[in-house]
Amino acid sequence: MFLCFSASVFRNKEKSRTHFVGMLWHHIFFVQRSFGVFDPNKAALFKGKGYVDACPYSISSEVTAQDEMPDPYYFERGEHRKDIPVLGFEGYGQCIDFNTEETRKEYDDLARGFLEYDKNCGLALVEMGVIDRDYGPKTMEAPMIEFLETKYFNESVVDLTNSVDIDQWLKNFAVYAVMINLDSPMTNINNWYLASTNGGDGDWKIVQYDHHGVLSKSMVSYGCDASCAPRMAYWPILQPTCSNFENHEIMGRILNNEENVQKYLEFVQEFVNILSTQNIIENLYDYGNGIKKFVVDDPWSHYSTLEEFEESELGRNSQDYNTDSSPFLKSMQFRLQEVQKQLDAIQEGTLPRDGVYDEESVCPDWRDASSEDYIPDLNDKDDNSLSNSGSYVESDACVSDLYDCTTAEKCFDHRSGMCAFDGKILTTECKEALTFCKPCFPNSRCSSGAGSIIVFNIVTTVALVGLSWCWIVA
């Protein structure tokens, strides 16, 4: 199913009342459509907001020095918050500084509430509305608090299988992994609801929302590491998290036994089959053509003309997917191919390293039998061969006329993610002038490869044009 959420701003009580009633019926419809007929006395939908993964919160001296509890908390919405300045694109840096200060204020109030509720994560998060009951009776808060305290935040609990609707969670993990959705429970534990239709008795379910960052280089860079963006299509399905999943608060307590792993892989295959065979991609192309004239006029669009949008986002050659703009449909089609290759290799017993990755590895390339490129601490050692792979070296072969090739250092750097383990340049931008610059990087494995590399600074993509969608699993 496809689900569209819209946000509205209401300026008077009459509209707010109408909005509340509308959202109430929306939630009722959503729960029944997703999970079937339910008893409203035993059903609830809780929204997990930011900072959930940060509990227990650090208590600073500033927090303990305040006698009275804030009312309202700063992380709540309302007129008590500082007005957001409108600074435009040129004020991006100032916006980051503003957001950092606002985040500090929110965190401090979270810590105050955590202290007020006797450092009890489950009780504090539910009472403060950080885990917010959007639908369902207030009596459902007790089972949510119990789940959080006795299971989720209990470090002695190493397996959540019997506390949740395990098949439903594994299906969601399959979607997150295929679509590389890092702004989710898969990485930073964000953008999710928890739902129950059985009074919270071992049936907690995941409900996804906010998919703007799927298959997006900018989100991959932000959510994990900049080196992951160029090779994101090769992300291993057996390590769908940023780093080792065994240490992840959620994944490590779900994909911790062979039965769950096998079910997860079956659901990955099922999802790939759905996207590949049920006309989904063609429908998305139709949708893209339907909105293209509006996308170009969007102030956040990085396409200045309709032709640029059509060539990048609606083109049919998925082999040129790896550009700074992260074209959604091309990226998805290439990713599906790589996921299927992994599934086939697992079935045939030929998956490199048997899908077992070093604990320190960050977003490894599933095709690589080595771990050298993916361990940050190893990459930072001065005596490692990786450290000078992107060094520009002037020589008889690299004359001063090629000085502009210094801007292409990242394309040859083994740590950047652009120069793959097999000596191939991954990004489209880096391929366009390789012939000119490779003599200047004799220490790089990619300097002996064929192809081309463009001579200009590599930039990070900031948006995925509006084709957000999700598969809501039953």
pLDDT per residue as tens digits for the range 226-267:
999 999 999 999 999 999 989 899 999 999 999 999 999 999
pLDDT confidence band for 341 (50 / 70 / 90): very high
Contact 331, 235 (CB under 8 A): no
Residue 106 to residue 418: CA distance in whole angstroms: 37
- Choose between 419 and 472: higher pLDDT: 419
Residue closest to 290 by CA, chosen among 472, 466, 463, 470: 466
Q: Which helix (H) or strand (E) holds 226?
A: none
pLDDT per position as a tens digit, 371-409:
888 987 664 555 455 668 999 998 888 887 777 888 899
Number of other residues whose CB lies within 10 A of the CB of residue 172: 25
pLDDT per position as a tens digit, 274-291:
999 878 999 999 999 999
* DSSP category for residue 364: -
Residue 81 to residue 76: CA distance in whole angstroms: 8
Contact 192, 473 (CB under 8 A): no
pTM: predicted TM-score of the whole model, two decimal places: 0.85
Asked if residue 463 has pLDDT above 60, the reply is no
Per DSSP, what are the bridge partners of residue 48? Answer: 131, 192
Locate 186 and state its tokens. Answer: 């898969």
pLDDT per position as a tens digit, 62-102:
777 666 788 899 988 899 999 999 988 788 889 989 999 99
Locate 395 and state its tokens. Answer: 């020589």
Torsion sign over Cα 69, 72, 75, 79: negative
Task: Identify the pLDDT of residue 464.
Answer: 24
Amino acid (1-letter code) at residue 372: E
Mean pLDDT across 145-169: 96
Locate 136 and state its tokens. Answer: 């369902």
Residue 434 to residue 368: CA distance in whole angstroms: 23
- Choose between 305 and 35: higher pLDDT: 305
Residue 348 to residue 342: CA distance in whole angstroms: 10
Residue 175 to residue 237: CA distance in whole angstroms: 11
Task: Identify the pLDDT of residue 67.
Answer: 67
